[in-house]
Amino acid sequence: MKGGVRGKYYEAYREGHKIVIHKEDGTDSVQYLKLEDGAVMLEPDVRKYFPTSDAVNKALRSLLKIVPAKKRASGRRK
């Protein structure tokens, strides 16, 4: 990508955005979208290998097997 700025719209996207769909009959449909709490955004190169939530969760669970138990316990929310 030439001249692009990585993450330029990241914060705005997380805060939410609206989409206006202009219909053929002259009316507009407005949708407000917001990234849900706990959701993560994958970069396109990663998304190519992990296209679904199931694929991401399976990969992360396999990594948890190699993380020492002490570290896993300290990272849990109370």
Q: Answer whether residue 23 is part of any domain.
A: yes
Q: Whole-model pTM? A: 0.46
What is the structure's pLDDT at 41? 80
Q: Answer whether residue 1 is part of any domain.
A: no
Cα 44 from Cα 67, distance rounded (Å): 26
Q: Answer whether residue 53 is part of any domain.
A: yes
26: left (phi over 0), alpha (psi -120 to 50) or beta: left
What is the structure's pLDDT at 70? 67
pLDDT in tens, 40-60: 888 889 989 999 989 999 999
Low-confidence ranges of the chain (pLDDT < 50): none
| Structural domain count, the chain | 1
Give the residue numbers spanning the domain of 54.
10-74
Q: Answer whether residue 26 is part of any domain.
A: yes
Q: Answer whether residue 2 is part of any domain.
A: no
What is the structure's pLDDT at 43? 85
Q: Answer whether residue 3 is part of any domain.
A: no
Q: Answer whether residue 35 is part of any domain.
A: yes
What is the structure's pLDDT at 59? 94
Name the average pLDDT for the chain: 82
Q: Answer whether residue 4 is part of any domain.
A: no
